[in-house]
Amino acid sequence: MRLRVLLPMAALLLLSAGLPATGDDKTGDDKKELDKLQGEWTLVSREVKGKKSDESAKNYKLTIKGDQWILNPGPTATIKIDASKDPKWIDLTKFTPGIYKLEGDTLTICRPTSGKERPKEFKATTDDANALIVYKRLSK
């Protein structure tokens, strides 16, 4: 008797394992979004508290490989993104939480330079403590 009940249940479980998940596939969307960021980038501009950085900042190169953010010169961090947010969220270990947008081969990131509050818009005016950073893709 038990076997008659268990076998159909086991078959149902095996069949349902191959079906796509229902509902929101946030992890899959985040992975697709992270795939779009892969490659090498060069710093175009950096603005903090309404002031643009000097030309030496343009020597910074960024490589995004897998979930690794490799800034040269600079630290390496692990990337976590949430593409379901508007604007999209980016979290880098060792850095404050930020937002980002990808438009063609231009990656714009806004994050606080102090504190932990995530910016709500892409700005770095004199009355806030945000950094607005723009990268241009070198290769993918």
Say how far residue 19 (Cα) sits from the centre of its chain.
28
Q: What is the pLDDT of residue 2?
A: 45
- Peptide bond preceding 73 in cis form (omega within 30 of 0): yes
Query: Is the CB of residue 56 less than 8 Å from the CB of residue 45?
Result: no
Say how far residue 37 (Cα) sits from the centre of its chain.
8
* Domains detected in the chain: 25-139 (2.40.128)
Residue whose structure tokens are 């910016």: 119
Query: Is the CB of residue 104 less than 8 Å from the CB of residue 49?
Result: no
Digitized pLDDT (tens) for each residue of the chain, 140 residues in all: 444 433 344 333 333 333 333 334 457 899 999 999 999 999 999 998 888 887 767 789 999 999 999 999 889 999 999 999 999 999 999 888 999 999 999 999 999 988 778 999 999 878 778 999 999 999 65
Here the tokens at position 26 are 């946030």
